Amino acid sequence: MKAVIAVTLKPGVLDPQGQAIQRACTSLGYESIESVRQGKRFEVELEAASVEEARRLVEEISDKLLSNPVIENFEIESIG
């Protein structure tokens, strides 16, 4: 089974990398780019007997390994 997980910074958490990209856009003439937030995206291949079991497993590793729950949220974008 394959799952895609999006990990994003919580609102209010500063994102210097995103800000740097936004400034680079402006300096290259892309002035209509107002903000950029950078997050992570994981593609996980796993063995599971059912989609429910896979979801439980992916939620567990997303919370424990793929994200930092203090500053990040995760969302399972697709699974199956």
Q: Which residues bind a second copy (CB under 8 A)?
A: 6-8, 18, 21, 24-25, 28, 30, 32-48, 57, 60-61, 64-66
Measured from the CB atom, the residue of 40 and 52 that comes closer to a second copy is 40
Q: How far is the CB of 70 from a second copy (least distance, A)?
A: 18
Measured from the CB atom, the residue of 11 and 70 that comes closer to a second copy is 11
Question: Which pair of tokens denotes residue 19?
Answer: 């800000």
* 3-state SS assignment for residue 15: coil
Residue 42 in contact with residue 59, Cβ under 8 Å? Answer: no
Determine the residue type at 41. R
Question: Which pair of tokens denotes residue 15?
Answer: 């994102």
Q: How far is the CB of 66 from a second copy (least distance, A)?
A: 7
Q: How far is the CB of 71 from a second copy (least distance, A)?
A: 15
Question: Which pair of tokens denotes residue 56?
Answer: 């439980």
